[in-house]
């Protein structure tokens, strides 16, 4: 049976639905912290199109297409919601698979793909190497779809059984509140109330001893606590560090208004704030500066101590207010250290404070290790640690009471699993990596005061901050009630969706699937992308806490640990960032081999006419090449590839919307014939030309079409056992990625002021194409590599055309293309155009450039300048010159001709003088 995904995919609808509402999957993603989220709309489309057939009858095809479109974006009036057209889809699937369909995602993460299959009633499995991800997946794809009505009442005072509501939701809400109360009681002494109020949280900083005067001072990067808002008359609040040099003490004063002085940690004047030299810490007692590297060394030597600076109060954002801590609060903060030392183990060998060592080679992923953290207990200050120890103990205790009260092990595991998701989300806003977030929402204007996520903008690197915020027991971001309350909100959405069929989330490895041959109807997956994310290393912080909280209800979590008591990474398919220096096994060749094995397993486990659908997005040509090699070596052939704009670039360094491809593969048919190079190339060309109208109608920009071209090219190549050149030698797959892009470029038939782009010299073609696609915007460095490959150019051939900037490269300004500043008769068109821009708005100078390069009448130079002025933004310095030059073409050409004529005259005169001289010399 041909599957729909082999012939058609709702590219445009996926792009649209992935950008807003239910289709983003943002709600599901917030249930449990995990990485590399797939938008729900893309997951749903990949699942549905991998399972639905592609009927022979065009009318039936159109009906099914309309159904799938509707299921993603609704009917046009009003936006689609979850489970749109659910009944019809279920019916269509039942018709296609009367015995039921079976679907597996072998890299399921938090379960965004399996959840969509499960909601459609498909028998579904999600497999992930990480036990943390597996727990997150279970909370999304399994528990919300089960019927828990047969469970006994929960064995707690004050519990009333839900009859009208939804059992799971009501019980989770009840237990969250019970946990809050128990936690408050357990932590009361260390987070005291002041005038009857519980503060929201506490701003801390780390102090270091000054290397000049020896006094300790706090390292604070910002003194602002609440920005002023002129319109509402809010003066804002800040604090200052006051020093008493005689007593060698500092005190903190909170005051109204903007900061009065400089923070002790600041970027030196003249240095970019992005510079790797980092901030300078200045001792407020003696002004001695401490560079970043020195501060890091002092911290690594254990010389940092935590000090409580400011207390934050108030519930809603607007009401947040800051003050200095009272004496009682300062003393209470210190009680935690002694109390922590008294905390018993969670189980034999499972210490209260996580003593699991941070593995070597994690300075990028677990950044506190740069600042002296050796184990996972070192990431928090003592009071934060005590907070988590007691919170986890309460969750564990609730699990024990549930089991003792006759609640089934599964329901106990489910209920405590949601509590553990609250613990994980609270950690995400805790540790010394969670800084205070102070900003203003200009729409109000109103305050946005909260706590930063420890992963910051890097998505998967745990940050470290010299000053950080600790959420307490009151109301506000990062507190238990706040984070766990969000769990209820997300869970409510889940339990109110279409009923579905609970899926199984299992911990395992994609390279050894627990299924017999020919069992699954489809495999749909989103594998790890090379070195983008160190999943297990980045989530071990969650792991160490969760296994403590769930030691009773999920004992397997602690049992399946690797030898270092962290998550077992022996089969984790990633390329480890910074791993090479410490002999980490997760090298590029390990990734390639394991990914191939995983795909081969998928090919083995799907039925003969089943599909393996792979969602992949990466900018680097090498990574694509390796993925496609893995697909091929696994015995799969591509039979469909569909681009969709599913996320914004940024973390990967791209300024563009990132296109991901949904690649459909089938086990390779037996007995494929070898293909002849010229025939295969012609087929690739025809295939790409036939796709262009589809891409256009799906709204794909040229840059996305270039990315999408990989699919059809590989589809064609996959029809052959190998491709042979004229001499009968097999050709490398490498050839087809640049070829595909070149064909898109050709098919786009780009005209430069009515001259075909293909008629320009290679260097100019590169520059014009780049400027057309990107203008002056920053693009990923890999884009330049792709384009050079497609144009068959070496790095040197494009020197001076692109400038490296933070997060990528951009089209160079004429003033930056230094090496090419000398132009002459043999210069390429683009270099003449750049020289013109450098000459500025002066008829004589521009005429001089054109005359000296003999390009006065060169239509290529004029066409290039005309188009370039359009490609760059308005008010662009080069664009300004090019526009002016083109507008004054006749005057400039005239002047240039005069210069050329004068040069010719001069030459003649020189020649004449030479003749005279030789006559004269001859006379001698």
Footprint on this chain of ligand SAM (rule: CB under 6 A): 34, 36-38, 106-107, 109-110, 112-113, 127-130, 133, 509-511, 526-528, 535, 571-573
CB closer to ligand SAM, 133 vs 180: 133
User: Would you say 108 and 132 are in contact if contact means Cβ atoms under 8 Å apart?
Assistant: no
User: Which of 139-163 are b and which e, b meaning 16 or more Cβ less than 10 Å from the residue's Cβ?
Assistant: bbbbbbbeebeebeebeeeeeeebe
User: Would you say 460 and 331 are in contact if contact means Cβ atoms under 8 Å apart?
Assistant: no
Whose tokens are 């390292």? That residue is 219
- Give the number of C-alpha atoms closer than 13 A to the C-alpha of residue 218, restricted to the C-beta side: 26
Using left for φ > 0, alpha for ψ between -120 and 50, and beta otherwise, residue 800 falls in left
Name the DSSP letter for residue 729.
P
CB closer to ligand SAM, 371 vs 535: 535
- Least distance CB 93 / ligand SAM (angstroms): 21
- Least distance CB 507 / ligand SAM (angstroms): 9
- Least distance CB 509 / ligand SAM (angstroms): 4
Please report which helix (H) or strand (E) contains residue 643, including its range: strand 636-648
Query: How many residues in total does the chain contain?
Result: 924
- Least distance CB 106 / ligand SAM (angstroms): 6
- Give the number of C-alpha atoms closer than 13 A to the C-alpha of residue 234, restricted to the C-beta side: 19
- Least distance CB 111 / ligand SAM (angstroms): 6
* Cis preceding linkage at 361, omega within 30: no
CB closer to ligand SAM, 36 vs 333: 36
User: Would you say 382 and 333 are in contact if contact means Cβ atoms under 8 Å apart?
Assistant: no
Q: Which two tokens stand for residue 173?
A: 């809400």
Distances (CA, A) of 630 to 372, 508, 852: 40, 20, 54
- Least distance CB 649 / ligand SAM (angstroms): 17
Whose tokens are 């992005």? That residue is 274
CB closer to ligand SAM, 530 vs 715: 530
Distances (CA, A) of 778 to 271, 611, 652, 804, 812: 22, 37, 12, 9, 10
- Least distance CB 367 / ligand SAM (angstroms): 20
Report d(CA 106, CA 602) in Å as an integer: 8
- Least distance CB 142 / ligand SAM (angstroms): 15
CB closer to ligand SAM, 65 vs 130: 130
Pairing of strands 504-507, 123-128: parallel
Please report which helix (H) or strand (E) contains residue 213, including its range: none
- Least distance CB 676 / ligand SAM (angstroms): 38
CB closer to ligand SAM, 109 vs 800: 109
Report d(CA 38, CA 35) in Å as an integer: 9
CB closer to ligand SAM, 113 vs 740: 113
CB closer to ligand SAM, 139 vs 688: 139
User: Which of 663-698 are b and which e, b meaning 16 or more Cβ less than 10 Å from the residue's Cβ?
Assistant: bbbbbbeeeeeebebeebbebbbebbeebbebbeeb
CB closer to ligand SAM, 173 vs 654: 654
Q: Which two tokens stand for residue 595?
A: 């990914």
Report d(CA 119, CA 103) in Å as an integer: 12
Residue nearest ligand SAM by beta-carbon distance = 109
- Least distance CB 570 / ligand SAM (angstroms): 9
SS3 at position 913: helix
CB closer to ligand SAM, 48 vs 113: 113
CB closer to ligand SAM, 290 vs 597: 597
- Least distance CB 443 / ligand SAM (angstroms): 30
CB closer to ligand SAM, 526 vs 867: 526
- Least distance CB 857 / ligand SAM (angstroms): 56
CB closer to ligand SAM, 599 vs 882: 599
- Least distance CB 297 / ligand SAM (angstroms): 34
- Least distance CB 28 / ligand SAM (angstroms): 9
SS3 at position 543: helix
User: Which of 603-638 are b and which e, b meaning 16 or more Cβ less than 10 Å from the residue's Cβ?
Assistant: bbbbeeebbbbbbbbbbbbebbbbbbbbbbebbbbb
- Least distance CB 442 / ligand SAM (angstroms): 32
Distances (CA, A) of 399 to 156, 266, 417, 551, 594: 12, 47, 9, 9, 38
Q: DSSP for 154-204?
A: PSSTT----SSS-HHHHHHHHHHHHHHHHHHHHHTTTS--BTTB--SEEEE
58-73 and 11-18 helices cross at what angle (nearest 10)?
10
Report d(CA 258, CA 237) in Å as an integer: 6
Long-range contacts of 159-164 (CB under 8 A, 24+ apart): none
Beta-bridge partner residues of 751: 756
Contacts of 611 (CB under 8 A, 6+ apart): 3, 5, 6, 50, 522, 523, 639, 664, 665, 666
- Least distance CB 568 / ligand SAM (angstroms): 10
CB closer to ligand SAM, 128 vs 683: 128
- Least distance CB 354 / ligand SAM (angstroms): 20
Report d(CA 199, CA 479) in Å as an integer: 11
CB closer to ligand SAM, 283 vs 513: 513
CB closer to ligand SAM, 552 vs 567: 567
- Give the number of C-alpha atoms closer than 13 A to the C-alpha of residue 149, restricted to the C-beta side: 6
CB closer to ligand SAM, 138 vs 827: 138
CB closer to ligand SAM, 21 vs 53: 21
- Least distance CB 452 / ligand SAM (angstroms): 22
Q: Which two tokens stand for residue 291?
A: 């560079």
């Amino acid at each position: 049976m041909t599957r729909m995904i082999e012939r058609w995919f709702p590219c445009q609808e996926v792009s649209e639905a992935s950008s807003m509402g239910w289709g983003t999957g943002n709600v599901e993603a917030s249930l449990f912290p995990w990485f590399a989220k797939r938008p729900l709309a893309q997951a749903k489309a990949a699942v549905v199109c991998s399972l639905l057939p592609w009927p022979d009858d065009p009318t039936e095809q159109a009906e099914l297409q309309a159904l799938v479109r509707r299921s993603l974006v609704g009917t046009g009036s009003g936006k689609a919601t979850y489970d749109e057209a659910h009944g019809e889809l279920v019916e269509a699937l039942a018709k296609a698979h009367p015995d039921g369909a079976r679907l597996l995602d072998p890299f399921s993460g938090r379960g965004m793909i399996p959840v969509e299959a499960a909601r459609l009633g498909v028998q579904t499995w999600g497999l992930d190497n990480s036990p943390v991800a597996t727990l997150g997946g279970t909370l999304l794809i399994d528990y919300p779809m089960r019927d828990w009505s047969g469970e006994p009442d929960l064995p707690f005072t004050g519990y009333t059984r839900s009859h009208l509501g939804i059992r799971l939701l009501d019980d989770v809400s009840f237990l969250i509140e019970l946990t809050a109360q128990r936690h408050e009681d357990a932590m009361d002494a260390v987070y005291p109330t002041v005038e009857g109020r519980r503060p929201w949280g506490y701003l801390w900083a780390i102090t270091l001893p000054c290397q000049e005067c020896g006094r300790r001072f706090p390292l604070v990067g910002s003194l602002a606590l609440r920005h002023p808002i002129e319109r509402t008359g809010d003066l804002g609040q800040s604090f200052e560090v006051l020093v008493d040099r005689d007593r060698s003490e500092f005190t903190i004063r909170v005051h109204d208004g903007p900061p009065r002085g400089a923070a002790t940690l600041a970027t030196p004047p003249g240095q970019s704030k992005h510079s790797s030299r980092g901030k300078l810490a200045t001792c407020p007692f003696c002004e001695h500066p401490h560079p970043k590297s020195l501060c890091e060394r002092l911290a690594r030597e254990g010389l940092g101590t935590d000090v409580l600076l400011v207390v934050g109060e108030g519930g809603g954002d607007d009401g947040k207010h800051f003050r200095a801590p009272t004496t009682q609060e300062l003393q209470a903060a210190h009680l935690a250290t002694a109390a922590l030392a008294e905390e018993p183990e969670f189980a034999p060998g499972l210490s209260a404070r996580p003593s699991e060592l941070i593995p070597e080679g994690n300075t990028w992923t677990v950044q506190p290790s740069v600042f002296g953290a050796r184990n996972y207990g070192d990431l928090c200050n003592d009071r934060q640690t005590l907070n988590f120890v007691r919170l986890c103990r309460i969750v564990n205790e609730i699990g024990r009471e549930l089991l003792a009260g006759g609640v089934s092990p599964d329901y106990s595991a489910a209920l405590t699993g949601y509590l553990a998701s609250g613990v994980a989300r609270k950690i995400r806003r805790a540790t010394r990596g969670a800084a205070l977030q102070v900003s203003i929402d200009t729409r109000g204007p109103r305050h946005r005061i909260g706590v930063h996520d420890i992963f910051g903008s890097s998505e998967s690197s745990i940050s470290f901050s010299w000053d950080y915020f600790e959420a307490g027991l009151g109301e506000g971001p990062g507190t238990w009630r706040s984070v766990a309350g969000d769990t209820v909100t997300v869970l409510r959405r889940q339990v109110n969706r279409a009923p579905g069929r609970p899926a199984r989330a299992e911990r395992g490895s994609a390279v050894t699937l627990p299924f017999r041959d020919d069992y699954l109807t489809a495999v749909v997956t989103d594998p790890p992308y090379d070195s983008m994310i160190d999943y297990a290393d980045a989530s071990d912080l969650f792991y160490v806490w969760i296994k403590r909280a769930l030691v009773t209800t999920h004992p397997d979590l602690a049992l399946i640990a690797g030898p270092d008591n962290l998550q077992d990474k022996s089969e984790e398919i990633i390329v480890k960032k910074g791993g090479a220096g410490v002999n980490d096994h997760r090298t590029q060749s390990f990734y390639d081999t394991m990914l191939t094995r995983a795909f081969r397993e998928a090919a083995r486990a799907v039925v003969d006419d089943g599909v393996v659908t792979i969602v992949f997005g990466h900018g680097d040509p090498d990574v694509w090449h390796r993925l496609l090699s893995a697909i091929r070596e696994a015995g799969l052939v591509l039979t469909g590839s569909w681009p969709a704009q599913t996320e914004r670039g940024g973390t990967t360094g791209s300024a563009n919307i990132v296109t991901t491809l949904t690649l459909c593969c089938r086990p390779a048919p037996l007995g494929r014939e070898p293909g002849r190079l010229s025939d295969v190339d012609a087929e690739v060309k025809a295939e790409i030309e036939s796709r262009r109208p589809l891409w256009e109608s799906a709204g794909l920009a040229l840059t996305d079409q270039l990315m999408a071209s990989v699919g059809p090219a590989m589809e064609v190549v996959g029809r052959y056992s190998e491709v042979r050149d004229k001499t009968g030698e097999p050709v490398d797959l490498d050839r087809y990625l640049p070829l595909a892009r070149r064909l898109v470029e050709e098919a786009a038939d780009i005209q430069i002021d009515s001259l075909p782009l293909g008629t320009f010299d290679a260097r100019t073609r590169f520059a014009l194409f780049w400027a057309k696609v990107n203008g002056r915007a920053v693009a990923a460095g890999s884009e330049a590599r792709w384009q050079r490959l497609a144009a068959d150019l070496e790095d040197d051939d494009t020197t001076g055309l692109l400038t490296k900037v933070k997060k990528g490269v951009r089209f160079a300004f004429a003033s930056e293309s230094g090496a090419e500043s000398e132009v002459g008769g043999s210069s390429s068109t683009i270099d003449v155009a750049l020289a013109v821009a450098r000459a500025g708005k002066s008829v004589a100078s521009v005429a001089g450039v054109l005359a000296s390069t003999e390009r006065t009448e060169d239509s290529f130079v004029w066409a290039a300048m005309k188009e370039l002025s359009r490609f760059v933004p308005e008010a662009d310095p080069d664009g300004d010159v090019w526009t002016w030059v083109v507008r004054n073409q006749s005057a400039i050409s005239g002047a240039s001709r005069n210069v050329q004529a004068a040069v010719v005259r001069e030459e003649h005169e020189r020649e004449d003088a030479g003749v005279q001289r030789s006559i004269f010399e001859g006379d001698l």
